[in-house]
Structures are given as C-alpha cells and as structure tokens.
Structure 1
Amino acid sequence: MTKILLYCTQLTETGGIENHILEFCQKMCSVGVEIDLIVPRFKMLDRDQQTLRDNCLNTYFYYSPQKYKSTLWLIKTLLKLRNKNYDALYTNGQGESIYIVGKLMGIPNWVHHHHSSGGKGDQETWGNQYTKALRGAKTIIACSNKNAREIEDVVGRRIDSIPCFSRDLGDSISGPLGNSDILNFGYYGRLINGKGIELICQLSNDKDCSHIVFNLWGIGDVFTPKYFEQFPNIVFHGGFKTKEELIQVNSYIDAFLLLSDSEGLPISLLEVMSAGIPWIASNKGGIKDIACSKDSTRLVEDPSDYNLIKREILCLADDIKNGRISREKQKELYKKKFAANILIDQWQSIFLM
C-alpha cells in the first residue's frame, strides 16, 4: 500500500488547485493510497474540509493571518511526522515553504507539482528557496507540456506533465445543446483583469451577437454587479462554491469562453468538457494540451483581436444551432483523456518510481 505525505502551501474556499486536491484525495484513496495532508494556510468550506478528513488517513490544518505563526506551526508538525515512513512526498503550490518541507522531511521520492504557467511572468515570482525546490525534488510535474518545457529552460532538468484531476459532471448533465432560439454562452471563475471579461461585455453589445446571451459567474472587485448593469445582454449570476451549483451552471450554458491573457492549465475547461460543453479559449499556457477536437475545443491565438474572437464565437454558435456539435462526443473525449481512472494510473506510476 502506497503512503503519501501531501503538502499544500494553502487551500482557499474555491479554485483550481483546491478542486484538484479534493479530487486527488478522493480518487487516490479509493484505490488504497494512504494520504497524510498538511496545509498551514487552510480556509476551505466546512463540507470540503470534511471530505478531506473522511478520505485522508490524517489531516493537519491551520490558519493564521500572521505568516510567522503558520511557519512555526508547519515546522512543529513536520518534526512530529519525521519518524513516520512514507513512500513519497507530494508538494503542491508555489512558495518558499516547499523547499523547507522537502529538506526537513528528507523523503527520497519527492514529487513537486507546479500548477501555474511557468512562463517568464510566472518565473519572476519564484523566490530563491522555491527555485531550489524545483532543482532539488526528485520529480517535477507541470500541468502541461508547454509549461514543462518553459520550466526546463530555467532549472536545467527534465520536467514531466500530468493533467490535474477535475470534477466529472458528465453523469449529472444530459440533453442536446442549443435547445432554444437563444444560445447561452458563459464564463465562470475569477472576475479579474486578464480573463477576457471586458471582451465578453463588448461582444454582448454587438448586434451580430444578439442571438447569444452572455452569462457570467464569479466574484471580483473590479467587475462588480453594478459594472454589468450597463450591458443589457450580460446576465450576471454572482458567485458559487459547491459542486451542485457548478452542475447548475453547466446545465445552463451551451458553450464556455475563456479569453484570457495568461493561463497554466485551467481546470474549468476540463469540467465543462466533462459536461459535454464546447469551449473557445486563448492558446495560452497548457490549454493546447487539452484542445483535442477542432470542433468542440477551439483555440484563438490572439485574445485581443476582437474581429477574430467574434468570428469564432459566431461560427461556434452556428455549429451548435445546426447540430454539428455533440455533447456526447465531448464527454467521450474527456473520458478517454482526463477521467479519474486515466489519471490514477499516471499519478500512481510517479509515486511508485
């Protein structure tokens, strides 16, 4: 039986890494892997906390707004665990504490998972200790092939890539796409600059897109509910936190838009794919790795080119209305490449090296 010490720098209420960790713990533990989980900055929802406690062998959670207290707690916790036998150390996130955990525990099979883009902008945020971790861990896993190559150029070593776990919504959502005269295109996630929110708002005012309603879910300081009042063809739904709410969101939309300036590998694209929903996304970060169908996973090279984006959206809308996009085929793509049973084997092979 494989026993893993899993370390995350932080887990918040919602987010891509949070969903990966939740699914990772549930799916890996279901095949007999034992996990001890440590998180020094833990702020997940109570129900998600309980899910982790129910699946992991032991959990160690803490939170303090004062960084030094979190660091002291972490070191004390690690010292208590040093005498336990683990087959692998699996570290997640980005921060100086990654190196502390790796060196203090001294577990030979140290696997570090880098979730963000790996490009120059991302590299500028790496501290000295984190860069040491990228050079010192036995195995580094990036979230995509492109990100892996960019990290390799900096740290001078081989970097592997495995997709993140994602919430599979396929069994909860069915029926044809585009089942009414008006199509619903949508985005959910962080409402911040760089995610294409302004572009979606601009498209909503274009008379050529009047047969499409643009739906947005999320929370942000810049793009507030009041901001969207000036766009009559935008429906702003607010934020959501649970898988049940995520299923409702994906039951509502006919297509997903991610017109961002920078990405690692967005788990939201895998989630909508599992629901059988086509998407258009910027060719950023590792998104090309999961664009496995020219019909239902479409890439745009320049998210700042309004006319290009508009053409792609109108083309996808026409294909949906004319039955050229199949929900079931999109679901099958997900099952073949990104479903839990596929990823379990890939991750187990890393931890048994």
Structure 2
Amino acid sequence: MARLKIVQLITRMDKVGGAQKHVEALAIQLKQDGHEVTVVTGSYQPSLWCLQEQQIPVITIPTLQRAIHVTKDFQTFWQLRAIFKRIQPDVVATHSSKAGVIGRVVGSLLRIPTVFTAHSWSFTEGVPRKKKLLYHRVEKSVQPFTTKIITVSEYDRELALLEKVAPAHKLLTIHNGIDRIERSKATEKTFVEQPIIIMVARFEVPKRQDILLKALAELTDLSWHLQLIGDGSLRPALEDFVVQHGLTNRVTFLGNQLDVHSYLEKSHVFVLLSDWEGLPISIIEAMRVGLPIVATNVGGVNELIADKDNGFLVGREEYELLKKRLRTLLMDTILRQQMGNASERRYLQDFTFIPMYQKTVTVYQQAVSELVKKGD
C-alpha cells in the first residue's frame, strides 16, 4: 500500500463531537500505518485530544470559523493555500461544511485531490429552510472541485443524489466505525433500583436535551437518574429548568468528559434526541457497551437502530411516544438487557473501526490515482 501524505482539515477541534472524534481516530491510525498526516483546523483545544502524544502536527488557522464571514473566509483561503503549498499533500481530506468548502476549492486550484466527508449535510431534513437553501447552493457549487465524497450514512448519500448535489460516481457511503474496547465485568446490566439514563451530546443545535428533560419531568413516578455529558451555550437554560422542576437530585450535568466510555458502562439506557443527524458516533459508543437506545429517527439513525430490536426510534414530533418508550425501558429490566445485547451484536457486525478505516484509505488512494489519470 502506497504511503500517503495527508491533510485532515476540519473547521474546529475545540469541542468534542462525532466529526472531531472521527478525524482524531483516522489521524492516529494513518500515522501508525506509516502515512504522513497533518491536522489543520480553526480552533484547537489540545487537552481534548491525543494528537500531541502521537506526535501528529496540528496547524491552526484562527480565521477558519463556522459562520460565513467574507473577510475571514478570504484570509483562510490564502493561509490554507500557503499551508498546502508548503506541505504538498497527496490528498486533502475535509470534514464539516466550512472547511469542506474552502479546503476543496484551494485543493483543486493547486491540483491536489480532495475528499469531503459529509458527517451530515447542512441541507438535511430539520435544518431551517433559509440555511438549507444557502448550503444546498454552496455545496452544489463546490462539487466540481471535489474528487470524492464520503457520506457516513446511506440516508445522506441518497439525499445528495436526490438534491443533485453530486453525481453517483463521486459518492460513497462508509458507515462510521469505532475501536473495540475490552468489556469490563461491571458492564453486566443487572437489576438496579435506579436505572441510569445517559445522553452524550453538545448543548447546541441540533441536539435536544430539552425534550428529554421535559419528558422525564413527567415521569417522576418512576425511579431514574439522568446523566448529561457535554457542554455548550444551551446548558445554563437547562440547568435552570432542572432547578425549577425540582430535579436537582435526579439530573447530573457532567460537562465534557474524556472518558465517556466508563460512564456508558455504568448506564442502563442511552438517549439521543436531535433535530437532524448524520450517523452519530455517540450511539455507536453506546452500542459498543451493550446499551438499549432511544433516539430520534433522523438522518442515518435508523441504520444504527432497528426499532424494537436494539432500541426505539421516535419521530421528531412524537413526544408522547417518547415518554411511552422511556417508561417501557425504565420498567423492564429484561427488555433492557435483550435490546442491549442486540446493540452490541450490531456494533460488532457493522460498526467497528478497522473496516471503516480501510475503506476510507482506499477512497484516498482512488482520489490520488484519479488525478494521476487526468494528468496523463
């Protein structure tokens, strides 16, 4: 296998999210396999990641940010051009909308093959209409600069085809995958007086911790404790909600946690409510430790969860059904165990890291050889 020089480009690495975890895992494995990898990002928080100890160079471009800002985006363009010219990568792998747009344009102008991983389209179902139209237009306009597009769910690949964002030959679905971890004996979910519900997500749009809290506030006749991992601008309002509804003893805000796995191992039900999604890594992490899942049926979520098999799917507007599903799982230890076992089986069969990684590297290599062919 040819050794590649790769740039992994993502808008931000100062928050923990699925796309960021994906970039870190890819970068580490690429380095271990002898490829030369550099991570380029807008804002970076070293304490959240293991890139330093793996001696993976990280370059920050402070003007690279999520929001559209003509001056800063123009500055980012020129800085990125200088970085690419200096590194001379064989391929640029871009992640997230802003980095995806600027990175592909710069890469293409320098005749560097570009791969864009769509962790969730910004024009997906659930995104506000105005934003949707804008991003759809932008995505369509940068398509000619793109060598290959990886979608993390079949839902997103089909959406791209439906919205005529890219031709079929450029699109490929590679489901997210994460490393196996040795299960500790403590993970046997035996009967407990107070089941622990856990949600791992940023307190930002499109995540909906608010709906989960509202539903649980109406299920206080049952025994449960909720742990919320993550941080963000929506957190203070929800902390107020918890106080106002007398739930302080039942809800714990844990903030960002590096070792999410150990919290998942001690939990009994995993919940992820969102207005839109790609293929959430947080759900795969919960499946890995054998948890039953309750999640909003958006994006590629139903490619992870088979309703009534390894968890329950609820529609965005199905609030009463959400309460019913939570009640069922909180009251039925055996069902929790059965669904949890089904989750672990699905994880082991379809969502481990190495197959995902190998398919991704193959796409990088295809992108490189396509450019070589064009140059003949």
- TM-score > 0.5, shorter chain as reference: yes
User: Partner residue of 1:115?
Assistant: 119
Structure 1 residue identity aligned to 2:316: P
After superposition, give the CA deviation of every residue in 1:326-350 in whole Å (9 maximum; x if it has no partner). 6555334222211111212211221
- Structure 2 residue runs of 5 or longer lacking an equivalent are 367-376
Partner residue, 2:175: 163
Instruction: For 1:98 and 1:211, locate their aligned partners in 2 and report how far apart those are by CA, in whole Å.
Output: 50
Q: Are positions 1:225 and 2:225 aligned together?
A: no
Establish whether residue 330 from structure 1 lines up as the match of residue 343 from structure 2: yes
The answer to whether the 8 Å contact 2:64/2:76 transfers is no
Contact 2:195 2:225 in 1 (8 A): yes
| Selected match of 1:237 from 252, 261, 264 | 252
Secondary structure at 2:135's aligned position in 1? Answer: coil
Are the structure 2 counterparts of residues 78 and 156 from structure 1 closer, same or farther at C-alpha, using a change threshold of 3 Å?
A: closer
Q: Secondary structure of 1:263's match?
A: coil
Identify the residue that residue 203 of structure 2 maps to in structure 1.
191
Q: Equivalents in 1 of 2:162, 2:335: separation in Å? A: 45
- CA deviations over 1:83-125 (Å, ceiling 9, x no partner): 7554322111102413432323311x32111112442536334
Is 1:10 aligned to 2:12, yes or no?
yes
**Structure 2 partner of 1:295:** 309
Tell whether the 8 Å contact from 2:310 to 2:341 is kept in structure 1 after alignment: no
Q: Is the 8 A contact 1:168 1:271 kept in 2?
A: no
- Structure 1: how far apart are the matches of 2:58 and 2:204? 32
**Structure 1: distance between partners of 2:277 and 2:308:** 20
Describe the shift of the 1:169–1:239 C-alpha distance in structure 2 as closer, same or farther (beyond 3 A): farther
1:284, CA displacement in angstroms?
A: 0.4
CA contact (8 A) 1:176 1:326 kept: no
One-letter identity of the residue aligned with 2:111: G
| Cross-structure match for 1:104 | 109
Determine if contact 2:95/2:116 at 8 Å carries over to the other structure: yes
- Structure 2 contact 10–40 (Cα < 8 Å) conserved: yes
- Out of 271, 286, 307, the position equivalent to 2:300 is 286
Q: Tell me what 1:42 maps to.
A: 43
User: Does the aligned pair in 2 maintain the 1:99–1:129 contact within 8 Å?
Assistant: no
- Pick the aligned partner of 1:351 from 333, 343, 364: 364
- Give the superposition deviation at 1:254: 0.4
Counterpart Cα distance in 2 of 1:216 and 1:231: 16
Structure 2 counterpart of 1:52 = 51
Indicate yes or no: 2:267 matched with 1:267.
no
Shift of 1:139: 0.8
Query: Identity over the aligned pairs, expressed in percent?
Result: 18
1:255 aligns with 2:238: no
C-alpha spacing 1:214/1:79, structure 2 compared with 1 (3 Å): closer
User: Across the two proteins, how many residue pairs are aligned to each other?
Assistant: 347
Per-residue Cα deviation, 1:281-335 (whole angstroms, up to 9, x for no partner) = 11101111112574323322x2322332222223333443466426555334222
* Structure 1 position 279, deviation (Å): 0.5
Q: Is the 8 A contact 2:84 2:107 kept in 1?
A: no
- Describe the shift of the 1:278–1:52 C-alpha distance in structure 2 as closer, same or farther (beyond 3 A): same
> What is the SS of the residue equivalent to 1:140?
strand
CA RMSD in angstroms comes to 3.1
2:75 pairs with 1:61: no
Q: CA deviation at 1:73?
A: 5.7
Aligned to 1:148: 157
C-alpha change, 1:198 and 1:6, in structure 2 (3 Å) is closer
Change (3 A) 1:193 1:232: farther
Give the match's secondary structure for 2:255: coil
Question: In structure 1, what is the Cα distance between the partners aligned to 2:72 and 2:206?
Answer: 34
CA contact (8 A) 1:183 1:213 kept: yes
Structure 2 CA distance for aligned equivalents of residues 288 and 127 of structure 1: 24
The offset of 1:269, in angstroms, is 0.6
Check whether the contact 2:276–2:299 (CA below 8 A) recurs between aligned residues. yes
* Paired amino acid for 2:364: F
Instruction: Note the C-alpha offset of 1:273.
Output: 1.2
Q: Secondary structure at the match of 1:295?
A: coil
Q: Helix, strand or coil: the match of 2:245?
A: coil
1:203 is aligned, of 215, 222, 225, to: 215
- Who is 1:134 aligned against? 143
Q: Deviations over 1:22-72 (max 9, x none)?
A: 111112322233212222x12323352xx3244465432232589646753
Identify which range, 181-190 or 227-236, moves more after superposition.
227-236
State how far apart, in whole Å, the 2-side matches of 1:116 and 1:220 are: 20
Distance between the aligned counterparts of 1:341 and 1:277, measured in 2?
Answer: 22
Relative to structure 1, the CA distance from residue 242 to residue 27 in structure 2 (aligned partners, 3 Å threshold; closer, same or farther) is farther
Normalised by the length of structure 1, the TM-score is 0.84
- For the residues of structure 2 that align with 1:289 and 1:310, how far apart are their CA atoms? 23
| Equivalent-residue separation in structure 1 for 2:56 and 2:233 (angstroms) | 38
Mapped partners of 1:276, 1:14: distance in 2: 22
Equivalents in 1 of 2:139, 2:332: separation in Å? 46
User: How much has 1:156 moved relative to structure 2?
Assistant: 4.4
